[in-house]
């Protein structure tokens, strides 16, 4: 089982060092779970070498070029970073990411030796209009066409209406969406959307939920380690 903490735009390098040391102390003995931290670009170096798997929060689709503000797979690998998130709903909402750009990022990162967590999910309007499966079909098929069932690819199902809102998909909703995704692309699927220690067990115990992409709770070492322990107990 994989538990990834997406820190978004939080934690300086100094905060990252102390956090990762404390987290590693709490999860070092856990079996059956891989703990991943995804700090901001400026804190990646401080997260490395502390016994945790480190992913970036984004990666570009070209090896180099005039792309101000972007980072290439080679740059991440040079640091020692193992993978990257692509297509998070906040990237889609605020920075114009499209299904095509997400697929391009995923494919090139995988080709260049990085692991990838590719995010998909519907908005509240799309769910209420009955379009959840249509949205997931379009998003997942874009990644599937570009990357296929790559050994280093993971999908994260993150219902947009449950991110940072305190709302969480029910275990039944999560299972239904995960099973639908896996029917199109046979790779591990994580659940992301207000995962907390209080709801981790019921979500992670669903048969097609292979882990979690944790947002706010990953910023607190005790909360995040509690989720990791729950995952280990279910593995």
Start-to-end C-alpha separation, the chain? 7
Instruction: Report the 10 Å Cβ neighbour count for 134.
Output: 12
Which among 88, 90, 97, 122 is annotated as catalytic? 88
Catalytic site residue 60?
Answer: no
Catalytic site residue 88?
Answer: yes
Token duo for residue 64: 């180099």
Rounded Cα gap, residues 54 and 56, in angstroms: 7
- What is the DSSP pairing of strand 189-191 with strand 153-157? parallel
The closest alpha carbon to 164, from 1, 10, 2, belongs to 10
Rounded Cα gap, residues 177 and 172, in angstroms: 9
Which among 46, 90, 97, 158 is annotated as catalytic? 158
Q: HSE-up of 86 (CA within 13 Å, CB side)?
A: 34
Q: What residues are annotated to the active site?
A: 88, 158
């Amino acid at each position: 089982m994989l538990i990834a903490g997406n820190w978004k735009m939080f934690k300086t390098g100094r905060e990252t060092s102390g956090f990762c040391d404390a987290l590693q102390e709490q999860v070092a003995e856990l079996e059956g779970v891989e703990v991943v931290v995804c700090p901001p670009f400026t804190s990646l170096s401080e997260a490395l070498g502390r016994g945790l798997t480190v992913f970036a929060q984004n990666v570009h689709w070209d090896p180099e070029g005039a792309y101000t503000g972007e980072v290439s797979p080679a740059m991440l690998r040079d640091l020692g970073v193992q993978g990257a998130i692509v297509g998070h709903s906040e990237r889609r909402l605020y920075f114009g990411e499209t299904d095509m750009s997400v697929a391009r990022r995923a494919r090139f990162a995988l080709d260049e030796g990085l692991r990838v967590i590719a995010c998909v999910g519907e908005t509240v309007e799309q769910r209420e209009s009955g379009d959840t499966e249509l949205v997931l079909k379009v998003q997942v098929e874009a990644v599937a066409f570009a990357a296929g069932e790559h050994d280093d690819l993971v999908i994260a199902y993150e219902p947009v209406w449950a991110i940072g809102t305190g709302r969480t998909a029910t275990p039944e909703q999560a299972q239904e969406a995960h099973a639908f995704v896996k029917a199109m692309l046979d790779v591990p699927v994580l659940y992301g959307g207000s995962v907390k220690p209080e709801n981790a067990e019921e979500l992670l115990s669903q048969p097609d939920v292979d882990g979690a992409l944790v947002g706010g709770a990953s910023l607190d070492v005790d909360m995040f380690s509690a989720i990791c322990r729950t995952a280990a107990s279910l593995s």
